[in-house]
Structure 1
Amino acid sequence: MAEAETCVDCKPENQSVSPTSGATSATTQEHNHLDPSTFVPPSPSITPSITIEFCDRCRWLHRATWTSTELCLTFPTPAIKAITIMPLNAEDTAGRFRVWLFLDGKHPVLVWDRKVEGGFPELKVLKQRIRDHIQPGKSLGHSDK
């Protein structure tokens, strides 16, 4: 799916629905969907691990599984012990594609957010960001060139 395409099921990023009235209004500062400091990560079961959250209504399952496969091949156990793909299907998760990194005893790291970054991750960049947290100095071969 090209980045310019939009999901017909998802609301535009600058609108939200009031849970009480159902009315649509402009996004407020408290609920800024482009501010990573307000994002709440899912809870992992083991570390180090990666969780890929994606909007199921946007049909991004294939992209999430492809990304997880590439990360499994690049960071085999014990570097990464688990990769979870998490389909989401709610109004507040419309258009979401996030990659989280969970490390032992540390706050979860948001490695990628489609809305903040302006598109889907190029695997080279995603792998470099993850590597910098879990195995600094490790060569990624052609992904480092």
Structure 2
Amino acid sequence: MRTYDLTPFYRSTVGFDRLFSLLDQATSDGTPGYPPYNIERTGENAYRITVAVSGFAKEELSIVAKENTLTIKGEKAASENGNGKAEVLYRGIAARAFERAFQLADFVVVKNASLENGLLHVDLVREIPEAKKPRSIPIASSTPAPQVVDGSADKAAA
């Protein structure tokens, strides 16, 4: 992938810092790859975020929902080398601290979270208040409704 250095433009422009920052973000791979995650739709208004957090205990993970942002953090408590039992010759299992932030849509709330088999599942539900739901409005006409004649007057005259 080709990268562009936009530093000369920063020096020669005033007030366009945000524009060049957006260009930097668009050209770079802004999504870190650790830890990997899935976002699934489990129902009409239900979603599930699954994050691969193998090697992390429940106490080392934190989930915070604030305003429209869901933040998942993981931090290892103590170094595994400090226990004196074994010396690690090669570390292929990632155990570094991480922080993942997800932007949530309006009215999306976190229902529950569970950790099983090294996967953290966070269940989300979109609960739209009744006042915000679309409602059907009947259309009234200004002309009077036609009256129904059943023909009983003809039988009475005969």
Bigger share in helix? 1
Larger radius of gyration: 2
Name the TM tier (shorter chain): under 0.3
TM-score for both structures, normalised by structure 1: 0.24
Bigger share in strand? 2
TM-score for both structures, normalised by structure 2: 0.23
Higher RCO, 1 or 2 (CA under 8 Å, sep at least 6)? 1
